[in-house]
Amino acid sequence: MKHLYKSTAILLLLLTMSTMSIAAEPKKSDDPLKEPSGSQSMGSGHQGMGMGMGMGMGMECCQTEEQKTEHMRAMQEHMLMMHDLSNQILSEKDPAKKEELKNKQLELMKTFHTQMKQHRQQGMQEHKK
């Protein structure tokens, strides 16, 4: 019985050590923004927003720095409006006003979604040429 306990303890120790060594091994690409070639894949900076590869459809290479900055400013403005509406919704006590703010935010989301859909379609058309 003593041997059973010792062998079980040794097996558990080996198991925990092997899992720790696996967890300690670095992955090839922990950060999607850092690629070996030094270039960034399109959309990698937008993944937190749920946009993925849809943002720009690879057209970033064709944009000037001014156009990129303008695009980022527009994205920032949209995000600020969304956050502002969210804060207003959370702080509003009147259910009718709260629902009105939710509807306003929903319309803003729909408008933004439509704009992005059109932008992606334009990118696809330009990409096919």
pLDDT in tens, 25-81: 555 555 445 544 444 434 444 444 444 444 444 555 678 899 899 989 989 999 999
80 domain-assigned: yes
Tell me the CA distances in angstroms from 23 to 14, 18, 107, 125, one per residue in order.
14, 9, 45, 44
53 domain-assigned: no
Q: How confident is the model at residue 6 (pLDDT cuts 50, 70, 90)?
A: confident
pLDDT digits (tens, 9 = 90+) for 31-44: 445 544 444 434 44
37 domain-assigned: no
116 domain-assigned: yes
- Residue 52 pLDDT: 45
Q: Name which of 128, 125, 99, 109 is nearest 50 in CA terms.
A: 109
Structural contact between residues 119 and 67, judged by C-beta atoms closer than 8 angstroms: no
Mean pLDDT of the chain: 73
| pLDDT reading at 92 higher than 60 | yes
- Residue 24 pLDDT: 53
16 domain-assigned: no
98 domain-assigned: yes
> How far apart, in whole angstroms, are the C-alpha atoms of residue 91 and residue 77?
21
- Residue 126 pLDDT: 77
73 domain-assigned: yes
Domain span at residue 102 reads 60-129
19 domain-assigned: no
- Residue 22 pLDDT: 56
Domain count across the chain: 1
> How far apart, in whole angstroms, are the C-alpha atoms of residue 12 and residue 6?
10
